[in-house]
Structure 1
């Protein structure tokens, strides 16, 4: 059997597993008819996804390296060095913008220029390649409740604004719900995220590379805030794989998984964390149609195992409403309201699915 045929068979098997998993559900006649109509296109779509992700050559032409300075040399992060850190990273972003403009990359120049705004608070910045950044919203040094957001696939400096928008939405919700509380939100683009349709998004390789960086970042936050602040780690999509890989021994109070394809662990206990583990999925999130399995394919482990919203996983499942894969931080949504409650420690107010 050729590689393409093998992938097609695997994709069909993946799709069939979705159908079998639902076959036992009690359905009304209208729902059964709809299932028959949609079954064939769902199998075709998932088979095409597997073929595209595994067969598309990784040697395809890569985007030329974007010129940018090396990251700024910084003193260890403490409350006393925060202002200096923000200024140095802002200056680095301004220089990256200048270099990108000289190179003719106006899109990246604009992205870097926005990051260099004096009102932005950058804990880290690297304009090279896809880019890395960590940005603070709020007074980090005096916060007693901190949310760290970890993004999923297709997040880079070129698409950073949409990731930042989720952090801004959460920050506004926290301020609305608890105007007198001391909170901060950190958007952590601290790893090279995979593309949504790629071989890398089906494996934990990028997550394995990212996990030690995330652990070190949380350690650095503790150098600023001390031990008293409570940190909630909010992870989306492939970012949940990163958080799953980093979870063991991580000094956070809550680990939140939204839109998760799985974490690589069979259960919440398997994450080996003392944090409360939460999970949610919107009713219209396409991740619900992706089988939560793990299998060896051509010598590589593909998939991330148990569904975090399933009873078998054992997370605290909360309501996310009718939203899709990109809607967890949308203003007015049930998921955003619950995420804010978790960050604020108002766990008894969290609504359950």
Structure 2
């Protein structure tokens, strides 16, 4: 009896998920259809951004955010308008990307990108939109402060909060498939290539990929290698899986890391992959598993949304990885 526990639990989970999939297919589109779309201008036409045009790009995106805020206010969406107004009115905000249409997209820089020798790009998971952007932004601010307090003399760092794709909703059918990640991968690959064009080809770029963002990074990694713009580190933070069974399947020269807090509920998500009606559901091997082959960094006792909490073991470990202090990170 005991030997059947694993297969039975997996089969039970798949049946339950199939029921949820059917329910989500009915409910989620109807719910989305009832939410009016917020009008917004098209993104500013920036062309190829360089170190010399970086400040002009920031200013153009702030101006675009101001217009988007005005349109959202006129439409009656005060929450969206408040977020966009905050982006627009502070001349210190460095918006490298802004698009107020639909759920919204943004990439915000913390630090001097043009002069940075180490850049961390944060890729968010589900339910991250312009409406919830402030909580994502707070994680980038926290990492930037940690890097500033730890970086050795002469090291120049920058952090980017990259909301560059339509993230899946936690309640819905997309969060357990790779569809959104496959759409996001070309966008992220192009964005990383642009960073080298701004900061220089010798810049050390690290991708810090939270939750579903780890699926995005896994899909992006081979494209970065093919384009000749590989990153130094890919870090899976609180990952549900990546869509591949081994780190070597990522076809990347980057160091691959994984960390999960003891209080993270994502550990209870079954790490399986199954074909349901022609759609692959689930993301396969747990990146924390020795079979996956990632380097593991200590994340302490944090929960799923707490990896960038000031003073946490997880934040300290992430900062060490970005700074290249990998000998100080435990390789379990």
TM-score by length of 2: 0.91
Aligned partners of 1:202 and 1:96: how far apart in 2? 32
State which of 262, 268, 271 in structure 1 corresponds to 2:247: 268
1:162 to 2:141 alignment: no
Is residue 137–residue 184 contact of structure 1 (8 Å, CA) maintained in 2? yes
Which residue of structure 1 aligns with residue 20 of structure 2?
A: 52
2:57 is the counterpart of 1:85: yes
Deviations along 1:320-350, one digit per CA (max 9) or x if unpaired, are 1111111111111111000000000000011
- Indicate whether 1:131 and 2:104 are aligned: yes
Partners of 2:262 and 2:22 in 1: CA distance: 28
1:1-353 matches, within 5 Å, as 16-17=9-10, 51-56=19-24, 57=26, 58-62=28-32, 63-116=35-88, 117-178=90-151, 180=153, 181-250=155-224, 251-352=230-331
SS at 1:60's partner residue? helix
Residue 118 of structure 1 deviates from its aligned partner by 1.4
State the distance in 2 between where 1:262 and 1:14 align: 19
Is the alpha carbon distance of 1:206 and 1:138 closer, same or farther for their aligned partners in structure 2, counting shifts above 3 Å? same
Partner of 2:227: none
Conserved? CA contact 1:71–1:92, under 8 Å: yes
Any gaps of 5 or more consecutive residues in structure 1? 1-11, 19-42
Aligned length in residues: 317
Report the CA distance between 1:115 and its aligned residue: 1.2
Q: Distance in 2 between matches of 1:47 and 1:285?
A: 24
Deviates more, 1:185-194 or 1:240-249: 240-249
* Secondary structure at 1:79 match in 2: coil
Cα RMSD (Å): 1.9
Matched residues in 2 for 1:238 and 1:305: separation? 13
Check conservation: 2:186, 2:223, Cα contact below 8 A.
no
* Equivalent residue number for residue 27 of structure 1: none
Q: Which runs of 5+ in 2 are unaligned?
A: 225-229
Contact 1:249/1:274 (<8 A) preserved: no
Change (3 A) 1:197 1:183: same
TM-superposed CA distance for 1:52, in Å, is 3.0
Comparing 175-184 with 341-350, which one deviates more in the overlay?
175-184
State the distance in 2 between where 1:343 and 1:15 align: 41
Q: Indicate the SS of the match to 2:205.
A: strand
Normalised to the residue count of structure 1, the TM-score between the two structures is 0.86
- Cα distance in 2 between the residues matched to 1:170 and 1:274: 24
